[in-house]
Structure 1
Amino acid sequence: MSAFSLAYLDIPIGVSGDMLLGALVDAGLELAILQAALDALPIPGVHVEAAQVRKRGIAATQVTIRAPRQNQHRHLADIQAILQRSALPEAVQRQSLAVFRRLAQAEARVHGVQPEEVHFHEVGALDAIADVVGVVAGVQALGIEMLYASPLPLSHGQVHTEHGLLPVPPPAVLALLEGVPVRGIDVEGETVTPTGAALVTTLAAGFGPPPPMQLARVAHGAGAREFPLPNIVRLLLGRATAVGAATGAREETLVLLATNVDDMNPEWLAPLLEDLLAKGALDAWLVPLSMKKGRPGFEINVLSPVTAVDSLKAHIFAHTSTLGIRQLAVVRHALPRRQEVVETTYGTIRIKVAEYAAGRYRAAPEYEDCRAAARAHNVSLAEVYAAALAAWRDRG
């Protein structure tokens, strides 16, 4: 696991793509790695520069993307084609496209069109494409497995756009922040850009206070504009706290996926849970619900490691009727455990053994082993369980 497997993004005043790039470079991302990611795009002439600046006395890194100016308005399909023609790793392509897809969905809601019909203005420019790809590639290069963020700030005022003068935050930014904790700040001017909002809401697993971590580094990324407050983002990097002091439990940062359905055949839900577990879910369960208009339904819950989130979400969308999935970062306290094997009159049975206090253990026979043994010997599951536990205790 990387020393920077866990990160927290503190957003005091605002966020943009170049501010996120600055924080990543300040955290140790080499410019050569960032430039290599941009060179992998089928777009010539895109270069990255970094400089040390001070914002209200705080040292920070400011990154600037130099790209040819174009008057071309791109659609989502155009962005997808650029990414697919690139030499970027598949994971960077996929996550970068997810950022632009989220942008397209937000713009589509604002303008009352389909996401495929949205033509990007500022966020379709080459420097914005480079911002997105650079941030996604940078997060992966630093080995950040889980990113959290603070509630996003809402400033006030007006901003000039391709659609004319709009209130701050612009409608597309507010659409991107739906379902995300926000807070008001007494600052005039646009501080959260569409690109910044799309990146944070796509990449962050959760929002709120910093998670428990062993802090290794603090990095600052600077924005170009000046405000009464320091125009920076702070990136706290480290790793999850490894051991609980009292119980010896290991703290694990995981992701909880949840969605409600009331229009599916219940017979399809049991195999769905089995498939999710086979695809890497740590746990999956159903909760009966009474939904709108008194309809019976179910809440589908999936506990996932960070690395399996994307594939599990894709499976839920493909195999259920849901139109949306809630995603929440959670901390699980897991007892140290090991697997042992015991011999019984019904055959070999595996047992999970957990230490819940110093020198005190709890054992649980593996269900599948017990079920197979019970069927083979035509006895009850309870008898096999009891025999396995007795054999384990007899070993001392």
Structure 2
Amino acid sequence: MPPTATIAYLDCFAGISGDMVLAALIDAGLPPEVLRRGVDRLGLGPVDLDIQTTRQQGLRAVRVQVGGGGDQPLRTLADLLAILHRSGLAAEITAPAGRVFHLLAEAEAKVHGTSIDTVHFHEIGAVDTVVDVVGAMIGLHHLGIGELVSSPVPLGHGFIDCAHGRLPLPAPAVCELLRQVPVYGIDCTTETVTPTGAALLKSLATGFGPMPPMTIAATGCGAGSRPLAGNRPNLLRLIVGTQRPVAEAQRVEIIETNLDDWSPEGFPYLSELLLASGALDVNIAPIQMKKGRPAFRLQVICDPVHGDVIKAAILSETTAIGLRFRTEERLTLGREPVMVATRWGSVAAKRVMRPSGAEICPEYEECRRIAADHQVPLPEVYREVLRAGEEKPR
């Protein structure tokens, strides 16, 4: 594993669209000739990529306009997947592009009351959308971006005219695609998030929130095609950097609830259940609630990917009728399992990498087992493991 990993942050302060993502990737370092070679392999006819530098509110950005390709037919999901298959592009490009098209098909089918196999794409099947999606994957692959985090997404209001007629904003397909994605409304009567942009975000983003810790290597700005109200620059900013890979999550979700009518005798079972569901830590503390009632505060720390399962378990196994949750950053020391030689045989421990140097830490369950098996005081086992660890752990 390399000492650093490439990560990127999508700063969607004005929204997101497929052409904005592609333009931001170009500005961040994707060579236009690499993009053109990949697009040529799609077999869409003579495609024109007009890549220009522009300015909005004094900020320089790249704008991409896709043209040519002649008259494009209405396409189904199968047609779009066939284009990817025939292209011969790397699987690291075609597989995620296929997932984006699949998400678009699911959303369109849901809002129009049909199946994903029979839904016909209009704007989505056009050459510019196909190029935006595949081009984004080419850019991510070329820049080596392995993780993509996004800010919450601003949504405008009003109406937009499309092949289906006049639709409200946010477009129905956008609302469907952005389920479980943090959004907020702004006073803007322009489409700020397109279905393609929403699908790219839903498919690629591994998390939403503030910019994660990174060493910035490049920044790209992609310009949108429509002016926004309130002098808001219609730009998408992509910040690319490096992070140290870790064996455990450094961005965690904290889930809490106060329980004043729950028997704590169920806590050991609940704790085991939550840990088995992906919790990193589970704790309970006595508190005093309103009207002087004694209660307990249950807190769970978990990787955000396990958050939904853990919330469901808490609501099912306790008397909680509501939960609080937030995302926080954490710093953990590197550690590895080791075996140390003691007079009771080899004992499992862990080596913790502190700034001052490596330190051996006994494992409680292992020490408890030895103390019980050999009828010796637990502190004596701890001292023996620490002494043995100072010599030469394996």
TM over 0.5: yes
- Report how many aligned residue pairs link the two structures: 329
Within the candidate set 319, 343, 348, 2:341 is matched to 343
Tell me the equivalent position of 2:138: 137
Residues 11-49 of structure 1 show CA distances to partners (whole Å, capped at 9, x for unaligned) of: 222221111111111111111222232233243423433
- Tell me by how many angstroms 1:215 deviates: 2.7
Distance in 2 of aligned mates of 1:384 and 1:218: 55
- Equivalence for 1:393: 387
- 1:117/1:302 Cα in 2 relative to 1: closer, same or farther (>3 Å)? farther
Larger CA Rg, structure 1 vs 2: 2
Task: State the 1:350 CA deviation.
Answer: 5.3
Identical residues among aligned pairs (%): 39
Q: Report if the CA contact (8 A) 2:48-2:68 is conserved.
A: yes
Kept in 2, the 8 Å contact 1:250–1:335? The answer is no
Q: For the residues of structure 2 that align with 1:152 and 1:357, how far apart are their CA atoms?
A: 39
Kindly indicate whether the alpha-carbon contact (under 8 Å) linking 1:3 and 1:216 is maintained by their aligned counterparts in 2.
no
Q: Quick one: distance in 2 between partners of 1:213 and 1:202? A: 22
What amino acid maps onto 1:186 in structure 2? D
TM-score, normalised via structure 2 length? 0.70
Deviates more, 1:217-226 or 1:352-361: 352-361
CA distance in 2, matches of 1:111, 1:286: 44
Kindly provide the amino acid, as one letter, of the partner of residue 351 in structure 2.
Answer: V
Letter in 1 for 2:127: L
Which position in structure 1 is the counterpart of 2:234?
231
* Aligned counterparts of 2:90 and 2:382: Cα–Cα separation in 1: 48
- Judged with a 3 Å threshold, the aligned counterparts in structure 2 of structure 1 residues 157 and 45 are, in CA distance, closer, same or farther, namely same
With structure 1 as the length reference, what TM-score do the two structures score?
Answer: 0.70
Q: Which residue of 1 aligns with 2:119?
A: 118
CA contact (8 A) 2:340 2:388 kept: no
Aligned-partner Cα distance in 1 for 2:356–2:54: 52
Tell me the equivalent position of 1:78.
Answer: 79
Relative distance call for 1:3 and 1:364 in structure 2 (3 A) is closer
Alignment of 1:244-393 (within 5 A): 253=250, 331=329, 333-344=331-342, 348=346, 351-355=349-353, 358=356, 361-364=359-362, 390-391=384-385, 393=387
Secondary structure of 1:22 counterpart? helix
CA distance in 1, matches of 2:379, 2:109: 57
Structure 2: runs of 5+ lacking an equivalent: 254-271, 283-300, 307-325
1:97 alignment counterpart: 98
SS of the residue aligned with 1:9? strand
How far off its partner does 1:239 sit? 2.4
RMSD of the TM alignment (CA)?
Answer: 3.9
Indicate the larger mover: 10-19 or 43-52: 43-52
Structure 1's 71 and 137: CA in aligned 2 closer, same or farther, altered over 3 A? Answer: closer
- Evaluate the alpha carbon distance shift between residue 21 and residue 2 of structure 1 in structure 2; reply closer, same or farther with a 3 A threshold: farther
What is the distance in 2 between the residues matched to 1:286 and 1:149? 26
8 Å CA contact 1:74, 1:124 repeated in 2? yes
Q: Which amino acid aligns with 1:363?
A: C
Q: Post-superposition shift, 1:203?
A: 0.8
Q: Which runs of 5+ in 1 are unaligned?
A: 244-248, 257-269, 277-282, 288-300, 313-327
The equivalent of 1:179 in structure 2 is 180
Aligned residue type for 2:352: A
